[in-house]
Chains A and B, each alone.
Chain A
Amino acid sequence: MTTETVHGRIGAARDDLTTAQLLAVFAFAAALSFALLFLQEPLIHDSMHNFRHAAGVVCH
């Protein structure tokens, strides 16, 4: 299968990796973005206060 089309790339990824591996990758990215961008738990949120201002993401 050619890997020079978007469909080809999706097919190649399916052949190369198990569903569990793909899930692990996406879960890791989701967890990291949740912690950095959306977690509102006060202690963690506030300790990232300067970062959130500097990166221009939604803050308090």
Chain B
Amino acid sequence: MLVDYLERGVLAGAIAGIAYGAYMAVVANPLIGYMETVAAGGDHAHAGEHAHEAGEHAHAAGEHAHAVSEATTAAVSVGSGVLWGILLGGVFALAFYFLEPALPGRGRVKTYVLAGAGFLTVSVAPWLVLPPTTPGAEQAFDPTLRIAIYAGLMAVGAVVAVLSVYAYRRVSARSRPLGGVAAALPIVALVAVTAIAAPTIVESGSMPADLVTAFRGLTALSQAALWALVAGCFGWLQTRAGVHSTAERRDDLLASP
């Protein structure tokens, strides 16, 4: 049974990954290429006080542009996007197999709840402290420490997701809207605490603020879409395979004995 779930998860992840790879090829690669040029050309656009600062960004961006060719980066990035979908799909299916009985909602709603929890854990919680970096951004601390912070925040995100589901299950027995409020509380608390207490690690430098906001919005939406697609395809494959939970079968029997 676990293997069946994993098979469907990897397939759902491959479908979502191909879509995400297409997004990488059509949107992200050209956009990041353009932003590299903006970061490198900052000293031309900003005269005077910003010139020195922008020059440093250009140097930083230049270093990365030269390590491998642009074509290689574009191709490997598209491939990584597909693999990313497969990884998320596989991990999603494993988690879904074990957690399905504990997730709130019926049938396919459960898949979207888990996808939301996954998005919160893998992306949203770490982004509250380490927002998606634009090319040429300056970051505090060395990469090893930032990876540790990212991993730590993933753990925090997972705990918050569990608390949220637990709160919903406790409270929704009495009232569903109150359950929704209870589920939102841990997430709001996480956002508030990181907004107040977390240090600023990522400085976007000379990049126009609107472009940074647009890039971060696009990153967040594309990751959310990837999770939604994984959950949607997985749910569809489960239905196609005729998998129904015991609770649903019981409800169906009660409705039409």
Q: Are B133 and A25 in contact (CB under 8 A)?
A: no
Closest to B74 in A: A50
* CB pair B150 A53 closer than 8 Å: no
Does B171 reach chain A (CB closer than 8 Å)? no
Q: Which residues of A contact B135 (CB under 8 A)?
A: 53
Inside 8 A of B102's CB, which chain A residues have their CB? Answer: 6
- Chain B residues, Cβ within 8 Å of A54: 23-24, 28, 32, 77, 81, 219, 222
A56 lies within 8 A of B3 (CB): no
**CB-based contact A29/B87 at 8 Å:** yes
State whether A5 touches B1 (Cβ < 8 A).
no
- Considering only residues 123-154 of chain B, those with a C-beta below 8 Å from chain A are 123, 127, 130-135, 139, 143, 146-147, 150
Segment 173-228 of B: residues with Cβ below 8 Å from A? 216, 219-220, 222-223
Q: B3 and A17: CB pair below 8 A?
A: yes
Q: Within the assembled complex, what's the spacing in Å between the Cα atoms of A36 and B123?
A: 14
Interface with A: B41-49, B92-100, B109-117, B230-238, which one? B92-100
**Does the CB pair A50–B1 fall under 8 Å?**
no
The 8 Å CB contact of A9, one of B28, B32, B97, B139, is B97
| Interfacial chain B residues near A38, Cβ < 8 Å | 147
The dominant DSSP class at the A interface is helix
In the bound complex, what is the Cα–Cα distance between A47 and B130 (angstroms)? 22
Within 8 A of B (CB), among A17-59: 17, 25, 28-29, 32-33, 35-38, 40, 42-43, 46-59
Q: Which of A's residues lie within 8 Å of B, judged by CB? A: 2-6, 8-10, 12-13, 16-17, 25, 28-29, 32-33, 35-38, 40, 42-43, 46-60
Given A53-B135, A58-B130, A58-B143: 15 more A-B contacts, CB < 8 Å: A2-B246, A3-B1, A6-B99, A10-B98, A13-B1, A13-B97, A29-B91, A32-B90, A48-B76, A49-B32, A49-B73, A51-B84, A53-B219, A54-B32, A56-B131
Chain B residues packing against A (C-beta within 8 Å): 1-3, 6, 23-24, 28-29, 32-33, 64, 67-68, 72-74, 76-78, 80-81, 83-84, 86-87, 90-91, 94, 97-102, 123, 127, 130-135, 139, 143, 146-147, 150, 216, 219-220, 222-223, 245-247
